[in-house]
Amino acid sequence: MTAMKVGIVRVGNSRGIRIPKPILEECGFHDTVELQIENHRLVIARARGPREGWEEAFRAAGSSAHDELFLDGPANQFDREEWRW
């Protein structure tokens, strides 16, 4: 694990840090990162792409063969009297 102290610099009305190039390369950071606060610590992580990891999550969820369809379920009074498709 690489660790070092860096100064906090002014960036307009905000503050920022400069991340050295070797750390950027080691972490795989490019133009965008994700920031989170965990246990009073700032966590900077590689930005995930749109829908990254969805395929694995769908596989892990298992088969949907026995899932009930909500549209085929029992209708309530609103569904029977008011709603029009």
DSSP per residue, 46-57: EPPPTTTTHHHH
CB 46 within 8 A of CB 27: yes
Structural domains counted in the chain: 1
Amino acid 21: pLDDT? 92
Query: Which whole number is the average pLDDT over 65-83?
Result: 72
SS3 4: coil
Question: Which residue in 22, 66, 24 sits closest to 45, CA to CA?
Answer: 24
pLDDT of residue 44 exceeding 90: yes
- Quick check: is 38 in a domain? yes
72 inside domain: no
Residue 27 sits in which domain range? 20-49
CB contact at 8 A, 7 and 19: no
Average pLDDT over residues 17-26: 91
pLDDT of res. 81: 80
Does residue 58 sit within a domain? Answer: no
Alpha carbon 79 to its chain centroid, in Å, reads: 35
pLDDT at 85 over 70: no
